[in-house]
Structure 1
Amino acid sequence: MTSMSDDPGYLDARSVSKSFQGTRVLENLDLTIGRGEFVSLLGPSGCGKTTLLRMIAGLLPVDGGTITLDGKVISGLPPHRRNVGVVFQNYALFPHLTVAENIAFGLRARGVSKPEADTTVARFLDLIKLPDIAGRYPSALSGGQQQRVAVARALAPHPDILLLDEPFSALDRKLREGMQIELKSLLRDLGITSVFVTHDQDEALVMSDRIAVMNAGVIEQFGAPKEIYKNPKSRFVLDFIGASSQLSGVVAAQEEGTLSVRVGETRVRVAGHFRKGADVVVAMRPEDLSITEHGTTPDGMNVFPVTLKDRIYVGARSHALFSGAGGEKLAIELSPDLADNLNVGQTYSAVWATDKTLVFPGAA
C-alpha cells in the first residue's frame, strides 16, 4: 500500500524505487507531504525508511520515479543544490570547529557575511536554549547539547525541508523524551517541513503530524497518529504501533456487517466483512479492556473468560496478564490499586466494547 494524492504536495515522491545489488528496497513508493508538516517514517530495520530519506537528501540516486520539492524536481540534483537540511544519527559536528563555527558553516559556505552569520548563530543558540556555549568545542558538550547544535546547524541556512535520521537514538530515555518535545515545538514555531526517520513507535506518536508506517519497501499506512493507533489497516501496523491483545478465531456468522467470531467456546462480536468459516484474528488495545468477576454480557460489549497469570507494575498503570481456556493471552491495562486486588490463578471476565474490537485476516 502506498500513499498518494492527485494534488502534488510540498514534498512529493512518485513511484520511487531503489535496489541494492539486485535486491529491491523501495517498490513504486508514493508519498505526499504538505508544507510545514512533521512526518515520521516509521518501521523496522531494513524497511527502506533511511533509504528514502537519503534519496530526498540527494545522498543516494533514485532508480525510478521522481521527487519534487515545492514544485521543483530535485531527484536529479546534487545535494548542495537541494536546500535540504540533514541531522544525522551521530550529529556529525566538526570536532575542530567551535559551536558557533559549526552553526555558521553552511552560512559561510553560501557566502553570507560574517556579521549576518554571527547574528543568525546567536539567534539559533537562543532558540535551542544554549546561548552561552558559542566558544565551546563539540567534545566539551553533552549528547543532548550536541544534538541541539546539530539541529541549529541544519536550520541556520533556512532549508526548504529538514531531514532527521534517528537523531535521538544515542540519548538516554529521559533526555530523549525532553528533546522530542523541544524539537517539535521549535520546528512548529519556525514552520519547517520535516521528515523524521525512527523505529521508535512512541517517538513517532509524540512528534508527528502524520506517520508513514513502512514495511518491506512500501507504506502500509499513512495517517495521523491517533488514526493509525485506533484504526490500523493491517496486522503489521497493529503489531508495530502500540500493544494489543489478539485472539484467533473462526467466523461463525455474519449479519449486516457484524461478525460473530468463535474463539474456543466463546463468541466475540466485531464489525467486519469476512465469509463464514474464515480464519480471523480479533484484537483489542490494552486500555480498551476491563475486568469483572461477573459473567453477564452488557449490551454492545464482548465478554471473554480469563485466568490471571501475572501482574506487571509500570508506575501509574499496571499490566495484568491473563490467559483463556484455550491458551489465548490477553494483556489488560489497569490501575495499580485494582490490579493489586486481583488474585493470580483466579478466573475473571475480560470485558470490552464491540466497537473497540478490530478484526484482521488470520494466518494463511
Structure 2
Amino acid sequence: MKTVFSELQLNHRPTFELSDGAMAPAVELPARAEFVRDRIVETGLGAIQPPDAFGRGPLERVHSRAYLDFMDGFRAQCEREGRTGEVFPFCWPTAGLRADVTPRHLDGQLGRYSFDAGTPIGPESWRAAKVSADTALSAARLVKDGERAAFALCRPPGHHAMSDRFGGYCFVNNAAVAAQYLRDQSAARIAILDVDYHHGNGTQEIFYERSDVLFLSIHADPADEYPYFLGYADETGTGEGAGFNQNWPLAIGTDWDGWSAALDAACGRVMTFGADVAVISLGLDPYEHDPISRFRLQSGDFTRLGARLEKLGLPTLFVMEGGYAIDALGVNCVNVLSGFEDAR
C-alpha cells in the first residue's frame, strides 16, 4: 500500500492546549506522524511519496471562502497585531450574541472561525494544514487512478473541522476534502466511516444534507466525551440527507466485542448504500492506553479492523485522524493497514 506524507506537516508544533479546563502540554505533536512513518518504513508496508499541490480549489468545495480567507491571512494579521507564538480563541458568538458579524480584531475573528479553545494555532499551522489536505487529495488520486487502497498520513488531523470553523486540533477536514474530490472525479457514492474515539462532528456537518455521501461514525458517547454537542444516535441527516448519517455512540470502557458489533453494523450500511469508494477516517485513539480516550481496544484489534474493512471489497482511502499514545501509534496504524493488505 502506498503512503502519502510530507515533512512540512511537522511544522505545526503546538506546545500547550486547553484541556479539561486547564492548560496542559499539547498531545497533537509532530512525533505522531514520525512514529507512523518510521513504522511504515520498518515493516516495508510500501512506498512513501510526497503529495502534489492541489491549490485552494478543492478546499473551497467543502469549506467557506470566508473561513479560508481568514486562515490564509492569519499569519499576516498576527504580524500586524504583534502576536508571536501560538494563539487561542476565547470568545464566541454564542446564544444572545450576534453571529452575523465578523469583527476586524483578530480575537473576534478567531472566535468567529472556531468552536473550541483547545486548538492552538501558530505561525506554521495553516501551511501544515494545507499540506495535510494535499496529502489526502494525493492519496485520493491514487485510489481514483486504480490503487485498491492508499494511506494519507495526515497531520494535523481533520475530522473535527467544520465548513467554516476549526477545532479539535483540526483546520482542514481532510477526509471531507478527499471525499468531495472523489465525487468530483465521477465516483457517484462515497461512504465515510469514522473510527476515531471522538465523533467526527465536522464531517457530519459538511455532508448532513446530502445523500451522495454516507457518513458513519463509531465513537464515545458525546454525553461523556468531546465534542459533547454532536454525535448522538438521533442525528440521521436532514433534507436530501435524511437517513444518510448514522452514529454509534458507545459507552466509556467499550472493548473489542462491543466496538466490533458497531463496526459490523456500519459495514453493513456501507454495503446497502452501494458505495463506489470507502473513505476511512482512521483514528487510533480507541486504543486502551491512549492518554485522552477511554475505550479498550488492544493492538491486535486494529489488525482485525483492517481485515474487516477489506471485506467491503471497495477502493479504500485511509486518512489519518487522532491517536495520542505515541509509542504505540505506529504499530497500531500499520496493524490496520497490513491487516487490510493481508486479508486480500
TM-score range, shorter chain: 0.3 to 0.5
Relative CO higher for 1 or 2, CA cutoff 8 Å, sep ≥ 6? 2
- Structure with the bigger percentage of helix: 2
TM-score by length of 1: 0.33
- Structure with the bigger percentage of strand: 1
